[in-house]
Amino acid sequence: MNEPIYVTRPFLPPLEEFLPYLRQIWDSRRLTNNGPFHGQLEGALRAYLGVPQLALFTNATIGLVTALQALRISGEVITTPYSFVATAHALVWNNIEPVFVDIDPGTCNLDSACIEAAITPRTTAILPVHCYGNPCDVAGIQRIADTYGLKVIYDAAHAFGVRYKGESLLLHGDLSVVSFHATKVFNTFEGGAIVCPDSKTKQRIDYLKNFGFADEITVMAPGINGKMNEFQSALGLLQLDYINKAISLRKKIEMHYRKSLAGIDGIALLEPTADTDGNSAYFPIFIGNNYPLNRDRLYERLRAAGVYARRYFYPLISDMPMYRGLASATPKNLPHAREASERVLCLPIYPDLSEEEQNFIIDQLLNI
């Protein structure tokens, strides 16, 4: 292959179709601050995702920071070490201590059976991640939250469009935060949203993402600037026209990987979660001892062949310098997360990945 094959490539609609949107922005001079495309995209996403309320954000990290503020979360929050750093950073930006709990090796999501033992009088919430877009044990987590009076905020950065038991996965928990970053299933270059249950909660979130302004002269909280602009919103509207096609192309690629890699000694795959219509956001494989190379040697070998697979998620968040001193970060607390982190490799998956490129990647894995 001449061109590098990245772990993902942003999906983009034809440029000509975006030009009328740009013309409208130029003509109206309405660039940001709750403009017309912003309102249209919120409505279109509510309908597409099947959620009651949704507030757009400039990215999911600011969305997570704001979600925690919106629910006035403090003290300690139980979360996963097997995620992108933004999950834990959002807690620290709110002066909250992350308490890491191990993952279920079958899903790579927070193991709900480990949560109760980590609850202390300072615990106020649980921040699980629907890792790779695969649903967490939402019923088990909610049961614990109800028993102990905790809030649940899902980091649903990977979970755009995922349906679980016939409805949006984003309906679970008190809030869900989804990412529209360039590398995600649905992108607005940078972007994100908080999904929330009612208009009162949305109003508080909308104030918080606009510096706390409730009206021209009233500031109700020390809010932040988390607003999505008109360029991003317009792009989102256009992307929505293509999202079903983009997801179905991803699914086709996932199926081909699954068929080609099933039963290969030393390569383990995650089983699809029951009752789930997924989004094929990522394709993780786990390199076992029977494979001829260890994970890092394979990662290097693929890079040398021009295939830029990624170790999502390595290192564990709990091993990063700003977190490793926490009591919950101790390695013996997180054996499954550690093992997954040392074995995982996410293979390229995106709508424009050609069959020829995918077969090349598979050949690299099979012919070591």
91 touches ligand T4K (CB under 6 A):
no
Q: Which is nearer to ligand T4K, 207 or 350 (CB)?
A: 350
* Cβ(51)–Cβ(73) below 8 Å: no
Binder of ligand T4K out of 69, 79, 123, 179 (CB under 6 A): 179
132 touches ligand T4K (CB under 6 A):
no
Candidates 192, 197, 152; CA nearest to 171 is: 197
124 touches ligand T4K (CB under 6 A):
no
Q: Which is nearer to ligand T4K, 283 or 291 (CB)?
A: 283
* Nearest-approach distance from CB 62 to ligand T4K, in angstroms: 7
* Nearest-approach distance from CB 192 to ligand T4K, in angstroms: 5
Binder of ligand T4K out of 49, 60, 103, 302 (CB under 6 A): 60
Q: Give the integer Cα–Cα distance in Å for 141 and 169.
A: 14
183 touches ligand T4K (CB under 6 A):
yes
Q: Give the integer Cα–Cα distance in Å for 156 and 186.
A: 13
Q: Which is nearer to ligand T4K, 131 or 266 (CB)?
A: 131
Question: Binding string, 279-318, against ligand T4K, x = CB under 6 A?
Answer: -----------------------------x---x------
Report the site for ligand T4K in 192-231 (rule: CB under 6 A).
192
53 touches ligand T4K (CB under 6 A):
no
362 touches ligand T4K (CB under 6 A):
no
Binder of ligand T4K out of 38, 163, 172, 181 (CB under 6 A): 181
* Residues contacting 200, CB < 8 A, separation 6+: none
Options 4-12, 27-35, 37-45, 283-291: segment touching ligand T4K (CB under 6 A):
4-12
* Nearest-approach distance from CB 309 to ligand T4K, in angstroms: 10
Binding site for ligand T4K (CB under 6 A): 6-10, 59-61, 83-84, 86-87, 129, 155, 157-158, 179, 181-183, 192, 308, 312
